[in-house]
Amino acid sequence: MTDKNRMTVHLIAAMIALPGTVVLLIPGILAWIYGIDPPAVGEARLWLAKPLLPGGLVMIGWSAASLVVQGKGTPAPWAPPKHLVVNGAYKYVRNPMIIGVLMMLTGEALLFNSDPIGLWAATFFALNTVYFMFFEEPTLEKRFDDDYRLYKSNVGRWIPRLSAWTAPWETVEAEPEDPQARHWQGYQAGKGDDADKS
């Protein structure tokens, strides 16, 4: 199996095992046990759920893509990123995938008027906060040293920044050359040469 195929298998397994279980399987079980109460068309909770569900899905996909492309890994602990990911949504907040999952869970709780799903969302948030504080963040500090500490000091765990943070080690793309400016510089150089001749 090639590295690309192996990465694809790991990514699919990670998305099924992690966001899939949290967002689909557990809420589905809770809805089956406790029932659901779908909102009427005009209800506010329907309009609140509408942006949360697709927005959370986009956030999860965006985060997973960054982990694969920049990090050369997956969201799964068995195939973690090899490189520190500070691009995409990670420029704004340290845990965008979990925020995407929480958006979806909140949207489901509103859509189905389900207190059990809402309680599951709160529990999931609390468990992840403890996990990040006591396991993942210390592990990332060991793996990525001062790079992660700098990232951590500039980008919040849960509250997104208003502007993107750019790591100092990221290469800044050069601005495209302005042909008009180049022409003007040549003109100025020519004038200087003429002045030297007189």
pLDDT band at 152 (very low <50, low <70, confident <90, very high): very high
Q: How confident is the model at residue 1, as a pLDDT?
A: 66
Domain of residue 113: give its range: 3-197
* Cα-based distances in Å from 85 to 5, 64, 89, 104, 118: 21, 11, 10, 23, 30
Mean pLDDT over each residue of the chain, to the nearest integer: 85
What percent of the chain is predicted at pLDDT more than 90? 60
pLDDT by residue (tens digit) across 158-192? 999 999 999 998 765 544 555 555 555 555 555 55
Q: How confident is the model at residue 38, as a pLDDT?
A: 78
Q: Give the chain's domain count.
A: 1
pLDDT by residue (tens digit) across 86-139? 999 999 999 999 999 999 999 999 999 999 999 999 999 999 999 999 999 999
Q: Provide the token pair at 63.
A: 């985060």
Q: How confident is the model at residue 140, as a pLDDT?
A: 94
Any idea what the CATH number is for the domain that residue 118 is in?
1.20.120.1630
Concatenated DSSP letters for 124-175? HHHHHHHHIIIIIHHHHHHHHHHHHHHHHHHS-SSS--SS----TTSPPPPP
Give the Cα separation of 8 and 73 in Å (integer): 10
pTM over 0.85: no
Give the Cα separation of 70 and 66 in Å (integer): 5
Instruction: Looking at mean pLDDT, say which of 15-24, 39-48, 129-138, 171-180 comes out highest.
Output: 129-138
> Which one has a higher pLDDT value, 181 or 75?
75
